[in-house]
Chains A and B, each alone.
Chain A
């Protein structure tokens, strides 16, 4: 018997993982104005690396290696985008499409390597569960909530207390002014991409953990659900992305949980519910729940 509290906890866990991904989108968007469509492939790369390395390095070692390598790959991606020159006012649009090309190459390669297999990441939680009163919850979900909370807290601290965080805010407000103030935009950008890559790799481990069957070639597509989360938050607001992610995670878990009551909406509506929520919110607030920038100026 699963009840409301179970769905709530599941939704929270899901939302916490989406938040890791959505924060990555937001950081990249703030630093470079680019919407990173290659985020799913970064996520898949992180998961894949953890999966193939954990026999030799152990889970923690493999995860650490995966996080570092994915961060570097993300940083390299940023370098690649900047080759296109950033003088053109439409450069951010162009770079956004370039990330689609990068995604196609990376996903094709990873999917070819993974094939039809289900990879395990060797995570320590396995299929064990914890009982909290009447609620039963997978340990992996609890771990997802705990780890995400710590990491997100750390990222917020980075935004607030480091020089990089300050530069990032300056850059997202006015690129030209930030450059004039001596902010080294390329470095701010690069670090943002690396951070986003690291977060994506971390998220992959939780997305592949129980009760999911493992890492599949399609796991990366989950990143697409973090898009609505980021947009709901206004795209340039980290707290907004966090709130949006929780909203999306809860919606998905609740709709999936009450599937039988909601059967008019069709089987598997939980998977697409985030998009329905996004449309509804954007209808009321075209710039997202927390969006102020880019508000209708005319």
Chain B
């Protein structure tokens, strides 16, 4: 398991540009996630937040620019390699796989485990031992995220909020050094939101990791984030602490100028 005594690596996004069929989704975006901090990326719909996450996790290759994790260039790596470096993510629209909560969390342990086809087929002691040990750890993480009682429940019967939590827990199962959360509280009710915010704060303290957060819920951003980057039409228009960003005239214009997201900023 990852050594939790060393500080998490620095994630540096530098001059990243992404184009889809002539459309510029990200335009020369740069920001740095300080080790151990919560860094929020906010912006109106279509500002490029999800594209930004896809670049960080390797699902989308930028036309130019680099993403460095403590000096390692991530932009040329396949997603599964980035995952093995300790970068985990959740999705805006829930993506769970068939099976129980335990199955999903154990998938999160994939990068940390070894057992291949032969060892699993032959029930080799090493594979059995590994499975048992990692299942115990997955159960701990389930407890931590409030899924303890649902550990052996099929994901298909869970509520929306619980499935969202499964995704979160699955990402944690990777023992990430950097955790990318794409709208972790979207679709949740007030109580669930508060609870999720607490969990995020807890895991950051307990597991000592950096969190990059895309979120529309400004209340959550203000409470959790150490630093905020604001995207608008693919450009980073502001950086700073939540307080600074809240007062930035450019940010106010970007939000108030677009009617449909106006209330998000409030």
Contacts and interface: CB of A to CB of B under 8 A. Distances in A.
- What's the dominant secondary structure at chain B's contact region? loop
Contacts of B78: 298
A297 B79 CA distance: 11
Contacts of A298: 59, 78-79
Q: Interface size for chain B: under 10, 10 to 19, 20 to 34, or 35 or more residues?
A: under 10
Nearest to B58: A298
A298 B95 CA distance: 15
Interface residues of A, number: 2
Contacts, number: 4
Interface string B75-100: 00011000000000000000000000
Nearest to A298: B79
A268 B59 CA distance: 46
Interface string A276-298: 00000000000000000000011
Interface in B104-161: none
A93 to B, nearest CB: 14
A298 B79 CA distance: 7
Nearest to A297: B59
A297 B58 CA distance: 11
Contacts of B79: 298
Interface in B25-73: 59
A297 to B, nearest CB: 8
A62 B53 CA distance: 61
B178 to A, nearest CB: 20
A297 B59 CA distance: 8
Contacts of A297: 59
A287 to B, nearest CB: 17
4 contacts: A297-B59, A298-B59, A298-B78, A298-B79
**Ranked 4 nearest A-B pairs via Cβ:** A298-B79, A298-B59, A297-B59, A298-B78
